[in-house]
Amino acid sequence: MNKFILLAILTFSLVSGLNNLKVEALSEPSKKIKRDSVEMVVVQADKFLMGSKRDEGRADERPQRNIFLNAYSIDIHEVSNQRYLKFIQETERKEPPNSYSDGLLSKESGIKNLPVVQVTWYDAVDYCRWTGKRLPTEAEWEKAARGKHGNTYPWGSELMSNKSVNFDKDWEGIKTLWPVDGYPESSSVYGIKNMSGNVREWVSDWYAPDYYQNAPIKNPLGPQTGILKVIKGGSWHSFKSDIRPASRGKGGFALKTDGIGFRCAK
Amino acid sequence: MNYQIKKNIDSFPKLVLVAFFIGIIMPFPAKGQSPTPENMVLVNAGGFIRGMDADRGKTNSDKNQVLKEKLPVSKNTFEDESPARMIYLSSYFIDKYEVSNTQYKEFMRSTDHAAPAYWDHRHLNIPQNPVTGVNWFDANGYCRWNKKRLPTEAEWEKAARGPAGLTYPWGNTLDIKKANFSKGNTGKKVVTTPTDSYPDGKSYYGAYNMAGNVFEWVQDWYDPDYYKDMQNVRNVKGPQLGLKMGVPGKYEEKIKYGQKKVIRGGSWFAPAESITTTHRFWNDPMNNSYGVGLGIRCARDIKENSGMIARTYYMDALVEMGAEKFKKAYTSINKALSTNPDNTEYKNLKKIIKRRGDL
């Protein structure tokens, strides 16, 4: 009898819990149930310096212009294996290839807090959507990394050694990628981690080499169409010029490597 | 004997014979020529057979059918290698090996050039393996930085198949021990192999991995009908612009519309059909990473001396005579003789042209 009552209470609380969730979902139709525990920061609506000045950086990231963005929030960490594998299990998808051994990624130990890699642009889009978020635009990503004043690197203007930033390294198995928590000294002005190095990150924009010359100065969303997607921030194997947040990596949306991951925005 | 070259040669064996013939009457122009640069090979001036006749393609292991299943490309594309015909090229150097990750790294370090798409792929970024994940602009930039250039499509094909018009760099039969390409479900994880791998599969001129490993960008735009242009037979540079590829299908979805550049040679995960010396494939010049494995091999001009320029006029005269354009041939042979008046070959050809053209 006691057991029965306990069960009834449990059932009731479960159902009411679900009801609460439903109400939440209904009251904010654009946001789905929160499935992702990662901390996010709000980047306030404002202008920022995007791109590089003459004689700096590469041709495709010039000129430097003032771009206005509406407020948005962005994950302070890259998506980890743990978070990504939860999505894989709940949506019954196939796991990404395991970079560390021949077994399944989910059976690998010591990798939970490392950024997920070997994901395509579509994988990244699907994950963000599943959490009720989206991929950041290239402009959002760049502002989150550089702040308003056009920092060359997330932390300032001087390059740090690869003891504080994960770049210019060779593959060393499980030691190659660093935990998504990052180091405080290499965070961006908004406290966002690993914007330079560790993994390159998918953003939503198509790549066009002349986009920085022609983009609208308010909330640019990238070209209408293209061949390649933009990948920002460089990775563990990149050289210094590729880990500058203004630098524009690119790849086809089916590209998968041991150095491409992502983070979400809202 | 030269008048054997006819305008429309469509039979393959005859072409092979002519190729050997041209090879014999055009000995290596060794005088006054720059020495072969390190890790490049010399391809001598002369004729070679470009392309493969459509009917031959069909009997060749049902190649067209296989292609149709693998790649939703336009119907033209199945015939883009035909007709086979004789093309004349001046001498040039071509890289003995595909460009390696080590070499590309030097380029990146010294120019701040962006990393290729597979730079952080742990199996593809091995130093001695070919760089992969470069688009046409990267490939072109790398070759220029190295004081070289991309080969033309014809130069690429000649370097791969040699003077005898081979189907594979090493011969006429497929041999899985001589190239790195997709060999079906062997259970092995296949990736790129070092640029000096498969020495038994090198071409007549000594170039490695012209079949398989990575696809190689060439200078030319892609047009499936380009080979049907019968006018252009000497130092061909491809069409002015590529054909806009507007074929429906999954591959097209990815690659979208626009002009394409030619890629050659197949790759580690391309099927056997794509590693023949004549196989033409295409990609968007901006693409660095869709599905094929894109790499680089460079070429370099040979600084021609006056003797070689005379040789080119002599080649022109041969071609024009073959096309029964005797007046033009006569002008050309006179130009050759104005530089090298004592050359007996040139004098003999002039006599033949005069007689045949009633000049």
* Interchain CB contacts (distance < 8 Å): A and B: 82
Distance from CA of B147 to the nearest CA of A (A): 21
CB of A221 within 8 Å of any CB in chain B? Answer: no
Spatial separation of the C-alpha atoms in residues A244 and A259, rounded to whole Å:
16
Distance from CA of B335 to the nearest CA of A (A): 46
CB contact under 8 A, B119 and A241: no
Spatial separation of the C-alpha atoms in residues B209 and B44, rounded to whole Å:
20
CB of A206 within 8 Å of any CB in chain B? Answer: no
CB contact under 8 A, B287 and A260: no
pLDDT digits (tens, 9 = 90+) for B223-259: 888 998 777 889 999 988 766 665 455 554 545 567 8
Q: Which residues of A touch B188 (CB under 8 A)?
A: none
CB of A242 within 8 Å of any CB in chain B? Answer: yes
The DSSP result for A21-34, as a single string, is HHHHHHHSTT----
Q: Is the pLDDT of residue B170 over 50?
A: yes
For chain A, the maximum distance between any two Cα atoms, rounded to a whole number of angstroms, is 80
Mean pLDDT, range B95-124, rounded to an integer: 97
Neighbours of B305 (CB within 10 A): 15
* CA neighbor of B78 nearest in space, from B51, B104, B97: B51
Neighbours of B7 (CB within 10 A): 11
Mean pLDDT, range A48-69, rounded to an integer: 97
Average pLDDT of chain B to the nearest whole number = 83
| Residues A180/A193, Cβ–Cβ less than 8 Å | yes
CB contact under 8 A, A171 and B122: yes
Higher pLDDT, A92 or B358: A92
Pair type for strands B294-295 and B215-221: parallel
CB of B106 within 8 Å of any CB in chain A? Answer: no
**Element of type H or E holding A201:** strand A200-206
CB contact under 8 A, A252 and B290: yes
ipTM metric = 0.86
Those of residues 334-353 in B touching chain A at CB distance below 8 A are none
CB of A131 within 8 Å of any CB in chain B? Answer: no
Q: Compute and round to an integer the Cα radius of gyration of chain B.
A: 21
Give which of A225, A228, A238 to mutate to test B binding, by max B Cβ within 10 Å. Answer: A228
Give which of B104, B110, B122, B126 to mutate to test A binding, by max A Cβ within 10 Å. Answer: B122
pLDDT digits (tens, 9 = 90+) for A109-144: 999 999 999 999 999 999 999 999 999 999 999 999
SS3 assignment, position B42: strand
Higher pLDDT, B190 or A87: A87
Neighbours of B249 (CB within 10 A): 12
Cα–Cα distance list, A201 to A101, A195, B103 (Å):
23, 9, 26
Mean pLDDT, range A260-265, rounded to an integer: 98
* Lowest-pLDDT choice from A67-71, B191-195, B267-271: B267-271
DSSP state of A183: -
Q: What is the pLDDT of residue B229?
A: 79
CB contact under 8 A, B115 and A237: yes
Spatial separation of the C-alpha atoms in residues B357 and B359, rounded to whole Å:
5
Characterise A36 by phi-psi region: left (phi > 0), alpha (psi -120 to 50), beta (else): beta
pLDDT digits (tens, 9 = 90+) for B323-359: 889 999 999 999 889 878 889 999 999 999 999 998 8
Distance from CA of B105 to the nearest CA of A (A): 10
CB of B131 within 8 Å of any CB in chain A? Answer: no
Residue B38: pLDDT band with limits 50, 70, 90: very high
Q: What is the pLDDT of residue A235?
A: 98
pTM of the model: 0.80
SS3 assignment, position B21: helix
Those of residues 8-67 in A touching chain B at CB distance below 8 A are 58
Which residue's entry shows tokens 């015909």?
B85
Q: Compute and round to an integer the Cα radius of gyration of chain A.
A: 20
Shortest CA distance from A255: residue in chain B: B289
* B2 burial via Cβ count (<10 Å: 0-12, 13-18, 19+): middle
HSE toward the beta carbon, residue B221, CA cutoff 13 A: 12
Average pLDDT of chain A to the nearest whole number = 89
Q: Is the pLDDT of residue A31 over 70?
A: no
Q: Which residues of B touch A238 (CB under 8 A)?
A: 115, 119-120
DSSP state of B68: H
DSSP state of B118: T
And the tokens for B71? Answer: 């790649």
Those of residues 81-120 in A touching chain B at CB distance below 8 A are 99
Q: Which residues of B touch A207 (CB under 8 A)?
A: 286
Characterise A145 by phi-psi region: left (phi > 0), alpha (psi -120 to 50), beta (else): alpha
CB of A4 within 8 Å of any CB in chain B? Answer: no
Spatial separation of the C-alpha atoms in residues B256 and B271, rounded to whole Å:
23
Characterise A237 by phi-psi region: left (phi > 0), alpha (psi -120 to 50), beta (else): alpha
* CA neighbor of B280 nearest in space, from B254, B249, B250, B243: B243
* CA neighbor of B272 nearest in space, from B154, B178, B161: B178
DSSP state of A17: H
pLDDT digits (tens, 9 = 90+) for B59-109: 444 454 444 444 333 344 457 898 899 999 999 999 999 999 999 999 999
Q: What is the pLDDT of residue B228?
A: 87
Q: What is the pLDDT of residue B34?
A: 64
Contact residues for B279 (Cβ-Cβ < 8 A; gap 6+): B81, B264, B265, B266, B273
CB of A225 within 8 Å of any CB in chain B? Answer: yes
Q: What is the pLDDT of residue B30?
A: 44
pLDDT digits (tens, 9 = 90+) for B14-24: 555 555 555 44
Higher pLDDT, A20 or A224: A224
Spatial separation of the C-alpha atoms in residues B125 and B350, rounded to whole Å:
56
Q: What is the pLDDT of residue B190?
A: 78
